[in-house]
Amino acid sequence: MSISRRHVLAGSLAAGATTTTLAVAAPSSARPLLMPTGAIRRDPFTLGVASGDPTPSGVVLWTRLALDPLAEDGLGGMPGRDVPVQWQVSESPRMRRILDRGTTVARASAAHSVHVEVDGLRSNREYYYRFKVGSYLSPVGRTRTAPRRNEMPSALAMSFASCSHYEEGYFTAYRYLADDDPDLVLHLGDYQYEYKTTTNTARPRRHAGDETVTLSGYRQRHAQYKTDPDLQSAHAIAPWLVVWDDHETDNNWAANIPENTDPEQWNDTPERFAARRANAARAYYENMPLRRSSLPSGASTRIYRRLGWGRLASFHMLDTRQYRDDQACGDGWDIDCAGSQDPARSITGDRQEAWLRQGFARSRARWDFLGQQVFFARRDGKADERLHVSNDSWDGYAGSQQRVTKAWQDTGVRNPVVLTGDVHTHWAADIKADYDDPDAPVVASELVTTSVTSGGDGDPARQDPILEWNPHLHFYSQQRGYVRTLVTPSGLRADYRSLDRVTTRGGAIRTQATFELTDRERGLQRVR
């Protein structure tokens, strides 16, 4: 029986789930005071299920218990005690034969979130999973393990998305993404937005609460987003690789420097902003299918990491917020900003940049993907000789931009591809060794996804004039959606999926453009 691509299945729990595994959401030296599961008298799985960070032998399974997701204290209306949660893994969507099972603890101190790091599974296999509390069963989620390191799979169906602002539209794109049956989903940042609820009555939905600065505020906001059924469907259909951008914490933040110094937003001193960052990081971990290696320590969280998909692909997932220098000449666009061209400035920090270069040097993958947040290729906003670029993107950190580009060349990466979010518009671009030289070689290509909702419906007729004087930029669209790819040993196909509207439910989707890359050949080719 095939699982529905839009709705995950539920089934009956097999008896005898007594094995216990250590898979708690946060470390605790104290013995948990467990609440009898009979005290839970309504469905606690209101936030759905998710999986992430697959390896050849395992995957992270996630859920978070919430009886009242919008509770102002951020604790989801749950009792203030730890709750035992059973989990099961099967090869059947009806969960008829249980392959692995156990009991973990949803800790009150971690907002009753659960992260189970399942291991010992077969490589490159599809699995199904669910949770149980008392008499309540979660929806069934589908996940899969990665291929073995030396295995060359025939194909990988991978989709990626970014920028889902709850107030600016419905998450219809996530539903269509789930319908595509991907093997893997990448989310490249701005999973949620920190802004307080709007007074704009024209917007279709409203945020709960004020701007998120406290732990309770971030927890409540994540829970509100997780109640969306289309987002739940996308999480339940495949494992996710996630990285944050700015809005999970504060717009355009850079290391310990906030967007502004508003004291009401905890942005008036480095100490208070560090506390805000710690709150955001903790809530992000609690609400994402991340491994213990990404468990926050105060304001510090290591989310840059590498995942292999056999010999077919390597995913280098970056963090371009936590270690960057402050933006030069402000956070926006500027003309001939000397600071943006300073080779000493970094968007990744030295340690992450060295880690990235080392990963390129060791990679034997057919395709090397850079999963990251902000535009990598140059976008010159002026048709004259002046350089007009966004200082929040890699253009504002030309030294980093050039060093990574050179690293692809020096290490002989076979097929480098950058996957990007942030800008709320679709783009297809080639990355050149020298943008000022028309004859300079193409080194890599960049696929940029538009937003899920941020920016509203968008104008299907609008074109960006900078395409005219940036010949390495090949496509632009202002509509909302995501990018769907099919990766094979011989090539890559990228479909730019675009919705006609998001401000009302039921928007229609179409493939607005399709580009292809061929193994060992540089440069995108438009085929649709």
Give 341's contacts (C-beta < 8 A, 6+ positions apart): 398, 399
DSSP string across 219-253:
HHHHHHHHT-HHHHHHHHHS-EEE---STTTSTT-
The per-residue pLDDT for 20 is: 28
Domain match, 487 and 419 both: yes
Domain match, 214 and 133 both: no
Spatial separation of the C-alpha atoms in residues 110 and 295, rounded to whole Å: 11
Q: Are 252 and 246 in contact (CB under 8 A)?
A: yes
Domain match, 117 and 161 both: no
The per-residue pLDDT for 324 is: 98
Domain span at residue 108 reads 37-144
Domain closes at, from 109, 144, 179: 144
Angle between helices 398-411 and 350-362 (to 10 degrees): 20
**What are the tokens at 60?**
């992270």
Residue 317 lies in a domain: yes
Tell me the pTM.
0.93
Q: Report which secondary-structure segment, H or E, holds 137.
A: strand 136-137
**What are the tokens at 256?**
């310990």
Spatial separation of the C-alpha atoms in residues 277 and 197, rounded to whole Å: 20
Domain match, 68 and 177 both: no
Domain match, 228 and 198 both: yes
Domain match, 124 and 234 both: no
DSSP string across 391-441:
TTSGGGGHHHHHHHHHHHHHHT-SSEEEEE-SSSSEEEEEEES-TT-TTSP
Task: For the chain, 528 residues long, give each residue's pLDDT as a single digit of tens.
Answer: 233 332 332 222 222 332 223 233 333 334 556 777 667 889 999 999 999 999 999 999 999 999 999 999 999 999 999 999 999 999 999 999 999 999 999 999 999 999 999 999 999 999 999 999 999 999 999 999 999 999 999 999 999 999 999 999 999 999 999 999 999 999 999 999 999 998 877 899 999 999 999 999 999 999 999 999 999 999 999 999 999 999 999 999 999 999 999 999 999 999 999 999 999 999 999 999 999 999 999 999 999 999 999 999 999 999 999 999 999 999 999 999 999 999 999 999 999 999 999 999 999 999 999 999 999 999 999 999 999 999 999 999 999 999 999 999 999 999 999 999 999 999 999 999 999 999 999 999 999 999 999 999 999 999 999 999 999 999 999 999 999 999 999 999 999 999 999 999 999 999 999 999 999 999 999 999
Domain match, 456 and 326 both: yes
Q: CATH number for the domain including 76? A: 2.60.40.380
Closest CA to 474 of 518, 432, 416, 506: 432
What are the percentages of helix, strand and coil residues in the chain, rounded to 5?
20, 25, 55
Domain match, 175 and 140 both: no
Residue 151 lies in a domain: no
Residue 259 lies in a domain: no
Residue 28 lies in a domain: no
Q: Phi and psi (nearest 5°) for 278?
A: -65, -40
**What are the tokens at 431?**
């990355």
Query: Sign (positive/negative) of CA torsion 224, 427, 302, 213?
Result: negative
**Looking at the DSSP assignment, which residues form a beta bridge with residue 513?**
496
Spatial separation of the C-alpha atoms in residues 299 and 281, rounded to whole Å: 7
Residue 2 lies in a domain: no
Q: Which residue has the tokens 């409203």?
A: 206
Spatial separation of the C-alpha atoms in residues 487 and 262, rounded to whole Å: 45
Domain match, 110 and 218 both: no
Domain closes at, from 117, 144, 171: 144
Give 270's contacts (C-beta < 8 A, 6+ positions apart): 256
Spatial separation of the C-alpha atoms in residues 289 and 242, rounded to whole Å: 8
Residue 518 lies in a domain: yes
Give 360's contacts (C-beta < 8 A, 6+ positions apart): 316, 368, 407, 408, 411, 413, 416
How is residue 254 annotated by DSSP? B
Domain match, 225 and 109 both: no
How is residue 164 annotated by DSSP? -
Domain closes at, from 86, 121, 144: 144
CB atoms within 10 A of CB 71: 17
Domain match, 129 and 167 both: no
Count of the separate structural domains present in the chain: 2
**Looking at the DSSP assignment, which residues form a beta bridge with residue 10?**
none
Q: Are 273 and 258 in contact (CB under 8 A)?
A: yes
Domain match, 109 and 199 both: no
Q: Phi and psi (nearest 5°) for 75?
A: -100, 10
Q: Which residue has the tokens 């991340």?
A: 290
**What are the tokens at 523?**
């440069």
The per-residue pLDDT for 139 is: 98
Q: CATH number for the domain including 369? A: 3.60.21.70
CB-facing half-sphere around the CA of 41: CA atoms within 13 A = 2
Residue 270 lies in a domain: no
Query: Sign (positive/negative) of CA torsion 408, 240, 425, 207?
Result: negative
How is residue 341 annotated by DSSP? G
Spatial separation of the C-alpha atoms in residues 236 and 309, rounded to whole Å: 20
Residue 20 lies in a domain: no
Q: How far is CA 415 from the centre of its chain?
A: 22
**What are the tokens at 315?**
């995913």
